[in-house]
Amino acid sequence: MNKAFETVTAFIGDITSLLKGLVVLGIVVGILFDDYFGVIAGIGDLMSKFGDAGFAGLLALMLIVFWYKK
């Protein structure tokens, strides 16, 4: 049973690493080629949603960052 959890955890970690790399690549392409894929605009929209929520949005963003660092 532990082996199955380790396998799933490793798979999710690999997928997460791949997605982080694709986001960074999208940002670089957006900077160089006028946001062709809309990644920078999407990140801006996401941050504005947190900002519109006021203190609750700030608290949620802080919780996500602290959880991600673990």
Mean pLDDT by 10 residues, the chain (70 residues): 89 92 89 84 85 82 79
Q: Does residue 32 contact residue 40 with C-beta atoms inside 8 Å? A: no
Task: Please tell me the predicted confidence (pLDDT) of residue 7.
Answer: 93
Task: With both helix axes pointing from N to C terminus, report the angle between 55-69 and 39-52 in degrees, rounded to the nearest 10.
Answer: 120
Q: Which parts of the chain are beta strand (E)?
A: none
Task: Please tell me the predicted confidence (pLDDT) of residue 70.
Answer: 62
Query: Within its chain, how far is the Cα of 42 from the centroid?
Result: 11
Domain spans in the chain, listed from the N-terminal domain onward: 2-69
Task: Please tell me the predicted confidence (pLDDT) of residue 10.
Answer: 93
Query: Within its chain, how far is the Cα of 18 from the centroid?
Result: 11
